[in-house]
Amino acid sequence: MSQEQLLREGSAALGLDLSDRQCERLLAYGALILKWNKVYNLTALRDPATVLTHHLLDSLSVIQPLKRECPGGARLLDVGAGAGLPGVVVAILRDDIQVTCLDAVAKKVAFVQQVASELGLKNLRGLHARVEMLAGSYELISSRAFASLADFVAGSRHLLAPDGVWMAMKGRAPDDEIAQLPVDCEVFHVEQLSVPGLDAERCIVWMRKRAA
């Protein structure tokens, strides 16, 4: 089966009907990851099949949940984005969301900027900075295996808009990390995900600032 067929089947299993343009961009993004990986070591994965399942489909699994939590336009900060996961995938699927992929490693940010340029993603930018030093306001702040929940929240709380939400992608439900969260942070949903072709537990921990 071709990469495009696998991507379309996996996306359909996630409740997504990709347009030809979205499919082209996702496959081009996967190809760019593999190309840059030879020089820059963006990710440990080295073959197209695992990039498709572990990166593209894994990131696509948040799109339907995002539609529920964020039906309209928003600003999304993807913290510790690395090669742009899930930020680039969100930018491809949701052109109403302005995505900033933040990373402390310059070469990873340069890669995201290259992706934005090559794929014509006007709603995507890479930003080289540490989250603690950043200013701004975002309705959505995401991370994928970036840090513990407590560290993620502590580092980015000054950037979360008043009605904003945190979206932390995790493996199995991190009950011990949830227990370590500060009292003014509320977990309002732990959402189990099923990623086609990936034999591993996945979830999203949705959080917000607790109302005073």
| DSSP letter string, 64-76 | HHHHHH--S-EEE
> Residue 145: pLDDT above 90?
no
* Most distant CA pair in the chain, distance: 53
> Residue 42: pLDDT above 90?
no
> Residue 86: pLDDT above 90?
yes
Q: Which range of residues forms the domain containing residue 114?
A: 3-209
Average pLDDT of the chain is: 94
Q: Is the dihedral of CA 166, 70, 170, 39 positive or negative?
A: negative
> Residue 185: pLDDT above 90?
yes
> Residue 45: pLDDT above 70?
no
Neighbours of 78 (CB within 10 A): 32
Measured in degrees and rounded to the nearest 5, phi and psi for residue 72 equal -105, -175
150-180 pLDDT, tens digit per residue, is 999 999 999 999 999 999 999 999 999 999 9
> Residue 29: pLDDT above 90?
yes
> Residue 146: pLDDT above 90?
no
Rounded to an integer, the average pLDDT of 87-104 is: 98
Q: Can you tell me the distance from the alpha carbon of 6 to that of 179, in angstroms, rounded to the nearest whole number?
A: 38
Residue 135's domain is classified under what CATH number?
3.40.50.150
Total count of domains within the chain: 1
Strand (E) or helix (H) holding 140: strand 138-144
Q: Please give the pLDDT value at position 60.
A: 98
Q: Is 188 helix (H, G, I), strand (E, B) or coil?
A: strand
